[in-house]
Amino acid sequence: MSQELTAEQIQQALQGISIPPQPQIMVDLQFEQYMPDPDLETIAKLISQDPGLSGALLKLVNSAHFGLSNKIGSIQRAVNLLGSRSIINLINAQSIKGEMSDETIVTLNRFWDTAQDVAMTCLTLAKSTGIQAVDEAYTLGLFHDCGVPLMLKRFPDYMGVLEDAYARTSGTCRVVDTENRALNTNHSVVGYYTAKSWRLPEHLTAAIANHHNALAIFQDDSSRNTSLKNLLAVLKMAEHICASYRVLGNQSVDHEWNAIGPLVLDYIGLSEYDFDNLKQIIRDMGGR
């Protein structure tokens, strides 16, 4: 049963949320909420396409107001708990924070496009490979790079640093190593603390923190960190399929996948041939 929250309660719970929502998503949501009978399912689908709105939603439902014993990582479950009036209050609260320059919107299009693309691919891969946490695979896909727009907000030349980081990535140099040298922080760390502020489950925040540390994690062939490895395996396959190295990194070669791909596929139990077939099926589904 949903619990209605006031606008004041929502504003209090959203302290620290700063990823701007995607403008077109806000337009579609505003249109839907002014319908005589807003369709909660349509609203949920729109919210699930946007990292900023989804993060605000999960932070809200995991706040003390609801007193849940277990933190929720599923966007659909969060929507069901909140109900339409609280969702509309959430949308209105986020729209106030969504004022951006045209230049910023154009730059962030790279982030929004790849976030939704990777999230949908994580969902498909989780189902096809038998990973149990399907909803959480989607959530990780949507949020794994949530630190990128926050880094851009703090460092205007950040996208240039990120492109350089993807270009330098190898078996011994991670994307985040280049960011650390240039900026003394990186989008994985920022994303981790953002996800913690959203009160996401601990294994999801750990996956966000380590999504560019996958080589070290998969080189450990013990039975430790199974849930983390499951999530990261799906995510790294999805990033490669969706060409994050090209969309965000502006590179023609996926250096990170070349280093970790064999370990990830061995962990999942897929041959290169099987993965190539799966990759083609998913790209055909998405028109990539």
pLDDT in tens, 193-235: 888 877 788 989 999 999 999 999 999 888 788 999 999 999 9
Domain spans of the chain, in order of start: 7-96, 102-286
Which residue, 85, 97, 87, is CA-closest to 16?
97
Count of CB atoms situated within 10 Å of the CB of 259: 17
The token duo for 192 is: 């981790």
The structure's pTM equals 0.75
CA distance 288 to 282: 8
Count of CB atoms situated within 10 Å of the CB of 282: 19
pLDDT in tens, 24-52: 777 788 777 777 777 778 888 888 888 88
Distances, alpha carbon 235 to alpha carbons 53, 67, 138, 172, in Å: 21, 30, 9, 20
CA distance 23 to 12: 23
Greater pLDDT, 92 or 284: 284
pLDDT in tens, 234-243: 999 999 999 9
For residues 170-195, give the mean pLDDT.
92
Write the class of the CATH domain 102-286. mainly alpha
For residues 151-178, give the mean pLDDT.
92
pLDDT in tens, 262-274: 999 999 999 999 9
- Taking a C-beta distance cutoff of 8 angstroms, is the pair 2, 86 a contact? yes
